[in-house]
Amino acid sequence: MTFKEQVAADIDNVFLNFDEFGEYHDVEGKQVLRIIDNDKLADLKMSQKEKGQILELVEADILLYARTTDLPKSLEPGNLINFDGKVMIIRYSNAAMGITEVAIAQNKMY
């Protein structure tokens, strides 16, 4: 098995293991296996505030991980995304080794 094949297997069997971590959510009308990590999001927010940093993650409500191939192609900050029937704003996204991390926020009117 090549390294690339092993990473792909790890994504399915370890990082996005439905039995252990994942849940299905509706994203842009498609059921996608996701892992939501709001504990990490809360830790990041606290760390950024302590350091006096103001970053996009502070404004996010949900931090999730999914296979890059399961997500829409355009995940640029500021774009809208339909997540479980709610229109949300993408605050941050980063793809690495087949997994994409996305921070999204509710579209709030002030």
Note the pLDDT of residue 51.
Answer: 57
Note the pLDDT of residue 59.
Answer: 75
Q: What is the count of structural domains for the chain? A: 1
Per-residue confidence of the chain (110 residues) as pLDDT tens digits? 888 788 777 776 766 665 677 788 899 999 988 878 777 776 666 665 555 555 555 578 888 889 899 999 889 999 999 999 999 999 889 998 888 999 999 876 54
**Residue in 19, 23, 53, 17 with CA at minimum distance from that of residue 38:** 23
Residue 30 to residue 43: CA distance in whole angstroms: 29
Note the pLDDT of residue 6.
Answer: 81
Provide the residue range defining the domain that includes 101.
Answer: 3-106
Domain of 100, CATH number, reads: 2.40.10
Note the pLDDT of residue 55.
Answer: 55
